[in-house]
Structure 1
């Protein structure tokens, strides 16, 4: 007859400390050759109370354990580690970055002339996806009842043509011209005797506003192809950009991609030497392993770059399954943000934190 043994009956495990196998299940995802195990996080605060371990989450504990470490930073991309958070919080940042940080994008296209092969609707859609070099924090949202003005609308003009008996003309985003004074097209009013008016009502030029005049409100990339014109074809239009968020349309999403993954953990269970070491190194397609020279012709395999592991599992298939252990650290995330250009990647993350903070404040006010 078997006897049920509790954690309190284990003399080798002191109070306040988990056994190694339980601690690993709590903090790691073990990636076997067939499928990962221990993927669920333990959220119940009293899960390990019999062992004297507090599993509750509090602000003081979170502040002590949470860290952000920047690994790589460029003009359009940032890679950083978020340590000490749950997957739900990391995913909240990802969703906010994709869908809730506002940007400026072309929403309305006034087509004057289009004799190219691209239909008006397709051309308008292409213009809407062009990343604009305009800080959305300097502009207001344009609602249905608002009049387009210098604070909520940016106007661009495109007027290109290809002369007869000329080679094909490639139209690029560099040919989109910013109109700081607003629309140059006129719109007839209902009263035929009244004067005509513009599609926008700018009270002043946008380049005279101190916060906007620092740099032209152009496009982020000048070499994006919009269309190709044949001899005798022409495009003339005005494009009006407004402020919006990605959950309304993807053209307002400020990131090309925002994604995360758990930190890989690769452990050699035994020493792998000689020909076995070379086979192990050659099996990995991303150079996680390397050869260390021991002298006298001896060599062994070492884990040189575990961060590069893509979890292809090639190293644990076949005879190597008992030699290598693959895992993921549950509360350590490698986060990557690729900006489309309106805001720098580090500014995007700061804006995501502000939006999450506003959501928490609204929830607390509703609960109170």
Structure 2
């Protein structure tokens, strides 16, 4: 780290200060008229220039990305939409024909309702699921049991001893077969979810109606296990931290946040840098502030007083998105933007109508 960067703290307006026992500069000031002589009005061109999205990792079930250059209200709107306003499928109604298992009907129905499902994205957007009753006498959910008295393991002793999510049979109705067939058929996100355990003489036979809904109606419709964000931590080393203090400083942070480097000859030769005659000594440098949990541990030690400044970037949001399986994690973020755009268009029409 070059000496001139030691005193660089960035734009103070964009940083929330994390002090030993307080948090300051937490109020947003980016609105017209707050600072004398500055316009501060919204500019679409400036918004486009500041907006930036960076994906840190992207897996089918979870992803992490940074949304930069937006206000907290926008980031929070996207988070809330992912939790409560993206349509998914869930079992809404259960018609129990026969249940002689040890699980009560109400508990069994509740377990079935919480199973996450997946299927055709186009079909999910365009259809509400309907259930087609079987022919008279047809029982697709019946289980047949026999047992081998030479075994002690229930999995081997009984056939169909465990009822899993994969045992649920989806029966399309009408044109649903055009959208939900083959790889796009409605099926559980995790086929090995255990629903119940049965023993000889016990039986579960039931029908389920699946509906399309949103998390605002019931949590079982929410497509995410977790959708959260945090502000990017900032760590500014104001004065050199050297020798044993550097290693102690490193231990105040999670692994990978602070690194140890050697003071170079060039740094030691610069007067006023704090590195004079310290060539070859260990110094603390910031490696990856994103891994920091902002524990403030370093602020509790007197040897670091005035040498470090902690904060959080006001307009840098690090999202963590975990999908339950019906949508891929990256699709959830894009779908949330689509819903937000639709809301904005609706609001625009209302504002235009009010102005007439």
Shorter-normalised TM range: 0.7 to 0.9
SS of 1:267's equivalent in the other structure is strand
In structure 1, the residue matched to 2:297 is 314
For the Cα contact (< 8 Å) 1:33–1:321, is it kept in 2? Answer: no
| Separation of aligned partners in 2, 1:151 and 1:279 | 59
In structure 1, the residue matched to 2:271 is none
Going from structure 1 to structure 2, the CA distance change for 1:243 and 1:151 (only over 3 Å counts) comes to: closer
For the Cα contact (< 8 Å) 1:254–1:343, is it kept in 2? Answer: yes
In structure 2, the residue matched to 1:359 is 343
1:327 to 311, 323, 327: 311
In structure 2, the residue matched to 1:252 is 221
In structure 1, the residue matched to 2:137 is none
SS of 1:322's equivalent in the other structure is coil
| Separation of aligned partners in 1, 2:9 and 2:183 | 59
Q: Following superposition of structure 1 onto structure 2, how do residues 189-200 of structure 1 map, counting pairs within 5 Å?
A: none
Going from structure 1 to structure 2, the CA distance change for 1:282 and 1:23 (only over 3 Å counts) comes to: closer
For the Cα contact (< 8 Å) 1:160–1:171, is it kept in 2? Answer: no
Task: Report the Cα offset of residue 210 of structure 1.
Answer: 5.3
**Does residue 47 of the first structure (1) align with residue 30 of the second (2)?**
no
Going from structure 1 to structure 2, the CA distance change for 1:135 and 1:49 (only over 3 Å counts) comes to: farther
In structure 2, the residue matched to 1:120 is 105
In structure 1, the residue matched to 2:286 is 303
**Does residue 349 of the first structure (1) align with residue 336 of the second (2)?**
no
**Does residue 235 of the first structure (1) align with residue 227 of the second (2)?**
no
SS of 1:270's equivalent in the other structure is coil
For the Cα contact (< 8 Å) 2:94–2:109, is it kept in 1? Answer: yes
Q: Following superposition of structure 1 onto structure 2, how do residues 203-282 of structure 1 map, counting pairs within 5 Å?
A: 203=174, 206-207=176-177, 209=178, 212-282=181-251
**Does residue 173 of the first structure (1) align with residue 165 of the second (2)?**
yes
The two structures have a TM-score, normalised by structure 1, of 0.78
Tell me the number of residue pairs that the alignment of Structure 1 and Structure 2 aligns: 315
SS of 1:42's equivalent in the other structure is coil
User: Which digits, 9 at most, give the CA deviation of each residue in 1:57-105, with x for residues without a partner?
Assistant: 2222211211111111011112111111000110000111100110011
User: Which digits, 9 at most, give the CA deviation of each residue in 1:10-65, with x for residues without a partner?
Assistant: xxxxxxxxxx99940x2100000102110110143122242xx4322222221121
1:92 to 77, 84, 93: 77
Going from structure 1 to structure 2, the CA distance change for 1:321 and 1:110 (only over 3 Å counts) comes to: farther
SS of 1:88's equivalent in the other structure is helix
The two structures have a TM-score, normalised by structure 2, of 0.81
**Does residue 283 of the first structure (1) align with residue 260 of the second (2)?**
no
| Separation of aligned partners in 2, 1:326 and 1:159 | 62
